[in-house]
Amino acid sequence: MSFWDSLLGRSKPVQANLDALFGLPSAAITLQTAMGFAPTGIGSVCYREAEGAAFAQTQADIVSLLNADEGPDVERSVDEYGYTWLVTRQDPSDMAALVTDLHAVNTTLEAQGFGPGLLCSLVGFTDPGGRRLGLVYLYKQGTFYPFAPGEGQRRDNLLEIQVRDLLAGELPIEQQLQRWMPVWGAPGL
Amino acid sequence: MAHSRFIKDTGLTARMTLVMFLLGGLFVALIVGLMYALPEYAFLIGVVGLGIAWFQWYKSDTLALKAMRARVVSPEEAPELHGMIDRLCAMADMPKPRVAISYSDLPNAFATGRSPHRAAVCVTTGILDKLTAEELEGVLAHELSHVAHRDVLVMTLASSAGIIAGMATRGAQYGAIFGGRRDSNNPAGAAGFLIALLVSLVVYAVSFFLTRLLSRYRELSADRAGAYLTQKPTALASALTKITGEIAAIPSRDLRASKSMNAFFIAPAISGATMQTLTSTHPSLEQRLEQLAKVSAELGRPTEGGFPAPGFDR
């Protein structure tokens, strides 16, 4: 916020930064070759629903757009914090298609002026041992961080740090560890 | 093409600018008046007054939390509250403030701290009991907007003229009584003290009303920014209705005990009947609801195929 903005008490909503999402396909290959984590083919977008007819219309447009291809339908759910998750599924080998889906959601929301409501995106991975890993994209920072849920409400922090160091060259990784918010029970993980 | 649903409230900005300008002018008038009347003491009074204002701002988080007997809670102690603030901060792209809970039945919330990096958001147990998750989130977004707007800093600066004037009033009273007696053969000195007293009193009175006016504008700004952050203006509106309705209905000793904290609360704890519109630190509920309704209408407006407001592009 600039000096004048804080003096005049006006803060503009932060717009989402979508650029880094397209780095995901190459990062997925690295994850698979170096650590054995394969994509699950499930991705989700988490956003804040605005009230009013305009948002309902926009959301209906997104869902029908994503359902237009042959493949499983989009699932929509609301979590306990009041955020909406749109879960989209693609062939696990086709990471690019998944990213295109996620990007379609983002651009549609943004074009309708709801970009400030975007919270994060999540792409799921799993290894043969059954460990789960999510790469979370923070829209406002334009950065990724790993989230590895374990048993109950425990995170596998060691795995997360390993993933961070592995992907440091390929994706913009969130440097502030305080921003590595857990997303417990996120759909699609 | 990114479209923004955030419209500028030029009227509010213009009014706020005017008030700030008047406060600045008042500050200058006070300093000039004091220097003219009391050339030898003016510098001292100014430095001590600014020192007090600086201390209030610098220690604002500790002082306010102590005054409310609030306790900073960890994510393990209040996971829902922390999760809510985590997400709001991620959406607003701002550093996370400390989270505190005050054990009081009074439903209220406030934000404090000298900068966004040293801020604290405090809620009372009363507000946690009375509001739904969605309403609480609206209130938290309002408080986070106060943090982002650096309202503690702005209000401290705005009230520094008043603090100095208050000090000068007291100093000039003593000066006029004792100084006048001692230098009874020097009527010019006593007159200087009297002029200083008069100037300080006037400045103090004007500053009192202007800071209250400014505080009300800052509240409206925080309401707007908070509503745009959660994208649910009606949740904040219903929270405000609940809080202010409840507070007005329950008179108790606790209300007076928390009087000193009024300027930082989301809803004032005391609603005085006399001169309420001029001296209250918060705008009226009607004013706030009306503004939130405007934000709500703006969020629901269709863009494609709709009719954007004239004179408003993107």
Nearest CB partner across the interface for B303, out of A50, A113, A179: A113
Taking the CA of residue A46 and the nearest CA in chain B, the distance in Å comes to: 11
Nearest CB partner across the interface for B6, out of A12, A52, A82: A12
Would an 8 Å CB–CB cutoff place B61 in contact with chain A? no
Taking the CA of residue A91 and the nearest CA in chain B, the distance in Å comes to: 30
Q: Do B296 and A83 touch (CB under 8 A)?
A: no
For residue range B180-194, what is the model confidence (pLDDT) as tens digits? 545 555 556 677 778
Cβ-based neighbours of A33, under 8 Å, separated by 6 or more: none
Q: Do B87 and A15 touch (CB under 8 A)?
A: no
Is the CB of residue A97 less than 8 Å from the CB of residue A91?
A: yes
Nearest CB partner across the interface for A50, out of B4, B225, B231: B231
- Given a cut of 90, is residue B139 above it in pLDDT? yes
Q: Do A49 and B2 touch (CB under 8 A)?
A: no
Provide the 8-state DSSP code for A90. Answer: -
Q: Do A55 and B303 touch (CB under 8 A)?
A: no
Q: Do A48 and B234 touch (CB under 8 A)?
A: no
Residue of B nearest to A81 (CA): B84
Taking the CA of residue A128 and the nearest CA in chain B, the distance in Å comes to: 31
Instruction: State the ipTM, two decimals.
Output: 0.83
For residue range B143-154, what is the model confidence (pLDDT) as tens digits? 999 998 888 888
Confidence of residue B309 (pLDDT cuts 50, 70, 90): very low
Q: Distance between alpha carbon B135 and the CA centroid of its chain, in Å?
A: 21
Taking the CA of residue A153 and the nearest CA in chain B, the distance in Å comes to: 11
Would an 8 Å CB–CB cutoff place B1 in contact with chain A? yes
Q: Which residues of B touch A7 (CB under 8 A)?
A: 20, 154
Residue of B40, B143, B298, B304 marked active site: B143
Question: CA dist A92 to A21, A167, B74, B212, B239, Å?
Answer: 17, 20, 39, 60, 45
Q: What's the mean per-residue pLDDT of chain B?
A: 79
Is the CB of residue B300 less than 8 Å from the CB of residue A56?
A: no
Which of A164-168, B14-18, B74-78, B276-280 bottoms out in mean pLDDT, i.e. has the lowest?
B276-280
Q: Which residues pair with residue A83 across a beta bridge?
A: A48
Q: Which residues of B touch A117 (CB under 8 A)?
A: 91, 231
Confidence of residue B155 (pLDDT cuts 50, 70, 90): confident
Q: Return the structure tokens found at B137.
A: 């989130």
Is the CB of residue A164 less than 8 Å from the CB of residue A173?
A: yes
Q: Which residues of A touch B83 (CB under 8 A)?
A: 81, 181
| Average pLDDT for B285-314 | 67
Interface of A with B in 97-116 (CB under 8 A): 110-116
User: A–B: how many Cβ contacts below 8 A?
Assistant: 132
Interface of B with A in 259-298 (CB under 8 A): 296-297
Cβ-based neighbours of A155, under 8 Å, separated by 6 or more: A147, A148, A149, A182
Taking Cα atoms as reference points, which of A81, A37, A60 lies closest to residue B85?
Answer: A81
Residue of A nearest to B11 (CA): A8
Taking the CA of residue A50 and the nearest CA in chain B, the distance in Å comes to: 5
B40 as an active site residue: the answer is no
Taking the CA of residue A113 and the nearest CA in chain B, the distance in Å comes to: 4
| Average pLDDT for B64-77 | 89
Cβ-based neighbours of A4, under 8 Å, separated by 6 or more: none
* Distance between first and last Cα of chain B: 9
Q: Which residues of A touch B153 (CB under 8 A)?
A: 6
Confidence of residue B4 (pLDDT cuts 50, 70, 90): low
For residue range B185-228, what is the model confidence (pLDDT) as tens digits? 555 667 777 888 888 888 888 888 888 888 888 899 899 999 98
**pLDDT exceeding 90 applies to what percent of chain B?**
14
Residue of A nearest to B146 (CA): A9
Q: What is the mean pLDDT of each run of 10 residues along chain A (189 residues)?
A: 69 76 90 92 91 88 85 85 90 89 89 87 91 91 90 85 90 87 83
- Given a cut of 60, is residue B271 above it in pLDDT? no
Nearest CB partner across the interface for B300, out of A48, A54, A111: A54
